[in-house]
Amino acid sequence: MLIPTVIEKSQFGERAYDIYSRLLKERIIFLGGVISDPLANTIIAQLLFLESEDPKKDISLYINSPGGSVTSMLAIYDTMIYIKPDIATYCMGVAASGAAVLLAAGTKGKRRALPNSEVMVHQVLGGAEGQAVEIEIHAKHILRVKDRLNKILSLHTGQSISKIEKDTDRDLFMTHE
């Protein structure tokens, strides 16, 4: 993937930034693509850096993601909750699955979905193979993760657990309205 470069001119000359570094300078983080461990580690590092720069100034998190690894998403989520700055979240394109959880985790009153974006929630996906005991262990773990994610969505949306359970029972697509 080609990463665009931005050239800034000042009295001291020119300086080139990759576009993501330039956005970070403005306290903007872009979460694009499948949520994986490497992407999560980058997002977490950016959140921690921006908090260390100014813990009182908002951070903007722009999301265009189909979701991905639950553990990677929860690492980002925990960091969002842990740091002091308010986090404004914006859905551009799609915030599906775990990305929808991150969108909802933005500071209340500072969560937005752009006009042509979609937000999709659903049940946790997972699979297991092996002996029946291992499959049972994984199934129980998936149910615990499902309950945890439903509680997180309920906490940030103000919806009841029963409503969240109903909404996440199947793929549910929502627009900015």
Known catalytic membership, residue 97: yes
Active-site residue, selected from the candidate residues 60, 72, 97, 117: 97
Reply yes or no on whether 141 is catalytic. Answer: no
By C-alpha distance, which of 118, 100, 116, 112 is closest to 164? 100
Q: Are 63 and 91 in contact (CB under 8 A)?
A: yes
Choosing from 122, 138, 154, 162, the catalytic residue is: 122
Contact between 31 and 64 under an 8 Å Cβ cutoff? The reply is yes
Nearest to 101 by CA among 79, 121, 71, 81: 121
Helix, strand, coil percentages (3-state) for the chain, rounded to 5, are 45, 25, 30
Known catalytic residues are 97, 122
